[in-house]
Amino acid sequence: MKKDARFYWNLFFSTLKLSAFTFGGGYVIVPLMQKRFVKELKWIDEDEMLDLVAIGQSAPGPVAVNASIMVGYRMAGVPGAFLTVLGTVLPPLVIITAITFFYMAFRDNQVIRTLFRGMQAGIAAVIADVVINMAAKIIKNRRVLPMIVMLLSFIAASFFDVDIIVILLVSGLLGAYTAFRARGGAEMDSHSNEEEGFE
């Protein structure tokens, strides 16, 4: 593929457009990215795209940003990643900045204030709905450790004001340990990993 100005513009503008018109964050934008880069542009094949998304989901930070970094890096290395990050971040940055000025000017207006007050109850319900779905998924798995982690994390955060980062580090280490055990412990050391990679 020729990497001319048009290619870079296309890479940047594709992510910009996806980001500007996708409501609802990573869960929505990722399938649309697949459609754009796999089906329409045919730049990346389907299996590789799934891996790129999985890696994006494994890293911290917004999934939409991470997936776009992966696509940019895959297409044009580090400069490509910077282009796609810029394309993903610019629309919300511009839109929210504009809304913030509006919000600060109008929040004392009676109608706007009651509108937001009503919507606060709405967003509380949206978050409750998300939490119910996520917790149900963990409980349905019927594994004891995740349920204990969930319960203890909740108590630590809600009643003891334990630092969130501490809770995440502890449960992350626990996850790493169980993943390591599940893979057969010491048998799977870095050597076998390397061999796999050089196939």
Interactions with other proteins, residue window 72-91 (CB under 8 A): 73-74, 78, 81-82, 85, 89, 91
Which residue stretch of 2-10, 34-42, 55-63 sits at the interface with other proteins (rule: CB under 8 A)?
55-63
Whether 84 contacts 10, CB under 8 Å: no
For position 50 contacting other proteins by CB under 8 A, the verdict is no
User: Among the candidate windows 2-10, 36-44, 61-69, which touches other proteins by CB under 8 A?
Assistant: 61-69
CB atoms within 10 A of CB 123: 10
Which tokens hold the place of 115? Answer: 């509108």
- Interface segment toward other proteins; rule CB under 8 A; list 5-13, 33-41, 120-128: 120-128
Minimal distance, residue 96 CB to other proteins, in Å? 4
User: Quick one: 41 or 62, whose CB is closer to other proteins?
Assistant: 62
In the complex with other proteins, which residue's Cβ is closer, 9 or 172? 172
Q: Is 125 in the site for other proteins (CB under 8 A)?
A: yes
Q: One symbol per residue from 161 to 190: x for binding other proteins (CB under 8 A), - otherwise; what is it?
A: --xxx-xx-xxxxxxxxxxx-xx-------
Rounded to whole angstroms, how far apart are CA atoms 155 and 166? 13
Burial of 17 per CB tally in 10 Å (0-12, 13-18, 19+) = middle
Q: Is 42 left (phi over 0), alpha (psi -120 to 50) or beta?
A: left
CA separation for the pair 32, 63 (Å, rounded): 13
CA gap 14, 36 in Å, rounded? 8
Residues numbered 18-47 forming contacts with other proteins, rule: CB under 8 A: 19-27
Cβ of residue 123: shortest distance to other proteins, in angstroms? 5
d(CA 189, CA 183): 10
- Minimum Å gap between C-beta 105 and other proteins is 12
* Binding residues among 88-117 for other proteins as defined by CB under 8 A: 89, 91-93, 95-97, 99-101, 103-104, 107, 111, 114-117
Q: Which residues lie below 8 Å from residue 90, measured CB to CB, with a gap of 6+? A: 16, 19
One of 60, 142, 186, 191 touching other proteins (CB under 8 A): 60
d(CA 31, CA 14): 14
Least Å distance, CB 77 to other proteins, is 9
